[in-house]
Amino acid sequence: MRTIIEPFRIKVVEPIRMTSREERAALIRQAGYNPFRLKAEHVLIDLLTDSGTGAMSTHQWAGVMEGDESYAGARSFFRFEEAVRGIFGHTHVIPTHQGRASERLLCRAVVKAGDVIPGNTHFDTTRANIEDTGAEARDMVIPEGLDPDLDHPFKGNIDLADLERCIAEVGRERVPFVLITVTNNSGGGQPVSMANLRGTRAICERFHIPLLLDAARFAENAFFIKLREPGYADKSPREIACEMFALSDGAVMSMKKDAFGNIGGVISLNSDEWAEKIRTALILTEGFITYGGLAGRDLEALAIGIEEILDEEYLKYRIASTAYVGNHLAQAGVPLLKPIGGHAVYINGRRFCDHLTDDKFPGWALSVALYEHVGVRACEIGNVMFGTQDRATGAWKWPALDLVRLAIPRRVYTQSHMDYVVEGITELYQHRREIRGLRFVHRPAVLPHFTATFELV
């Protein structure tokens, strides 16, 4: 059978408010041409993020009712701890309210000014939390990962030679850990191979540096390894995930992605010293060590979700349904980052809007036009998110890729919703020369894409 069906039935529905193009043109203008500033009720199909936007299962909702809301030592924490440790395998399991809280607690505990954190590609909040300590987040994805047209199975891999040179150059004492993001979100949702993780582990062991995973989409990464890496076709996603984590010394995770959570995160570590520092800060800023800013019902839902995500039938559907969108867009000539990722399709903003120069933010302009044209909200991952300006000269440095991410929430939209998205983007591509560029009206110093405002040029 060629038809992809959702491996679930719909039990509760949420109405979508329909809007006209004229309404949307006014709404995006009022929002300062920033899709983040729109009201969700004014969005027809929301592909801004797959973080916290998924639909929970009947088992998760049943778990919500069983949540133990005791302040300390709640049984829901121990259920959560058992589920996480059963996959990650690390000694310490520390709940947090979301991924960036995990990043902040980790960085404040073990990173200091002048340090360097190598990784494949750090995502926005990860980079911001590292830089907030005065350290440097250094990206070193393989060269193939920077070529949007190249069809390479593991474009999320870190460049092992660059990693080794970096450690030798700055000195191991300035590298508290290496962080590999699986899958590599900023690089197009591309997976990291097991061979690359082994190579990274070998380098880290030689220099006595811990290897950590940013594990927000670990299950999707595991399934890509099953599909693409020799020797893994007969292994289950859970077996592959456990092997991935066994190569690491710890992990941070936003559980709003591959745990079907609407909120939640975790830090998983082997180091007693690091865990002690993090738990001390956790009590000061998040809550007691057995809830970490989460309700007991959230811990129950996450414990169930992290098991559900490893269901092979679900992952088969997830990867295939995302590829369905990407393949249909590619057939229509829309320039995409290849190959198609697991959680999202990434449009090449520079190629789509090749009439706009980098200083007019082609990817961001495309995201604005997409909302105005068909009411679809997407996220730019490019010039606005990662562009930097030299304070002395005013010159801009643009990232290697200027992408628009169509992040597909888990278990939320049907194939007909995705057909609407494909049709709308295809129509817009035929009129791409009409898309106008933008310039900043207000640009915050940190994570500007969340709240910046723009005007048309």
Residue 6 lies in a domain: no
Catalytic annotation on 402? no
214, 258, 358, 402: the active-site residue: 214
Residue 331 lies in a domain: yes
pLDDT at 345: 97
Residue 410: enclosing H or E segment and its boundaries? none
Give the E-state strand segments of 178-234 in sequence order: 178-181, 211-214
- pLDDT single digits (tens) 373-384: 999 999 999 999
* Together in a domain, 280 and 411: no
123, 291, 324, 454: the active-site residue: 123
Catalytic annotation on 352? no
Q: Say yes or no to pLDDT of 4 above 90.
A: no
Catalytic annotation on 257? yes
Residue 33 lies in a domain: yes
* Together in a domain, 68 and 186: yes
Catalytic annotation on 275? no
- pLDDT single digits (tens) 260-295: 999 999 999 999 999 999 999 999 999 999 999 999
Listed residues 282, 308, 334: the one ending a domain? 308
Residue 5 lies in a domain: no
50, 124, 139, 258: the active-site residue: 124
* Together in a domain, 167 and 83: yes
- pLDDT single digits (tens) 61-109: 999 999 999 999 999 999 999 999 999 999 999 999 999 999 999 999 9
* Together in a domain, 115 and 236: yes
Catalytic annotation on 123? yes
Catalytic annotation on 235? no
92, 226, 257, 360: the active-site residue: 257
8, 59, 62, 71: the active-site residue: 71
Catalytic annotation on 124? yes
Which residue range(s) make up the domain with 278?
A: 58-308
Kindly report the CATH number assigned to the domain that includes residue 400: 3.90.1150.10
Confidence of residue 318 (pLDDT cuts 50, 70, 90): very high
* Together in a domain, 120 and 225: yes
Confidence of residue 315 (pLDDT cuts 50, 70, 90): very high
**Count of the separate structural domains present in the chain:** 2
- Looking at the chain, the whole-number percentage of residues with pLDDT higher than 90 is 95
Q: Say yes or no to pLDDT of 357 above 80.
A: yes
Measured CA to CA, the distance from residue 139 to residue 301 in angstroms comes to 34
Confidence of residue 258 (pLDDT cuts 50, 70, 90): very high
Mean pLDDT of 378-400: 92
